[in-house]
């Protein structure tokens, strides 16, 4: 079951690409865009996150912190971030496997990977935008941008 607008966003504490723990609760007081994706280095995920990279100012200019979460290990995330020039944190939901994605209703159990879930968490920790796309369904990012504009 996915989260809905108005729900309290589940807290998480996950290591980033540099093995530094990032917690949603530590970012309270500013909005956070939480982007789940299946796998680093895959075609669709690379396209989506490169678009996010290229349009990052849309979010940062609005005061939104961006984090992207997959079940990849931190070592893969570090290399992918370096190769692609991502300036946002890539968080590893590797172990316990997919626990954060499950808490957000964005885990595809049969394949052991997150679905493409996107959640805008407002400064008070509530979901302001929620969308989960199934396997193979690329995201349209205009919905996220509209939700950011409404903050």
| CATH label of the domain that carries residue 101 | 3.40.30.10
- Report whether 45 contacts 53 (CB < 8 A): no
d(CA 149, CA 141): 13
- Domain hosting 74: range is 13-150
**42 found inside a domain:** yes
Which one of the listed residues 45, 64, 74, 148 is annotated catalytic?
A: 45
Digit-coded pLDDT (tens) for 36-94: 999 999 989 999 999 999 999 999 999 999 999 999 999 999 999 999 999 999 999 99
User: What is the model's pTM?
Assistant: 0.95
**113 found inside a domain:** yes
**2 found inside a domain:** no
Q: How many domains does the chain have?
A: 1
**5 found inside a domain:** no
45 is catalytic: yes
**52 found inside a domain:** yes
- Report whether 133 contacts 54 (CB < 8 A): no
**17 found inside a domain:** yes
**137 found inside a domain:** yes
């Amino acid at each position: 079951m996915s989260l809905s607008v108005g729900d309290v966003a589940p807290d998480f504490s996950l290591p980033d690409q540099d093995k530094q723990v990032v917690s949603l609760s530590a970012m309270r007081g500013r909005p956070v865009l939480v982007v789940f994706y299946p796998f680093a280095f895959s075609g669709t995920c690379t396209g989506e996150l490169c678009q996010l990279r290229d349009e990052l100012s849309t979010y940062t200019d609005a005061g939104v912190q961006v984090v992207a979460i997959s079940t990849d290990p931190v070592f893969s995330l570090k290399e992918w971030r370096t190769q692609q020039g991502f300036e946002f944190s890539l968080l590893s939901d590797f172990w316990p496997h997919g626990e954060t994605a499950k808490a957000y209703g964005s885990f595809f159990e049969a394949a052991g990977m997150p679905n493409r879930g996107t959640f805008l968490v407002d400064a008070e920790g509530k979901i302001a935008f929620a969308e989960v796309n199934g396997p193979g369904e690329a995201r349209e990012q205009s919905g996220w941008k509209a939700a950011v504009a409404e903050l």
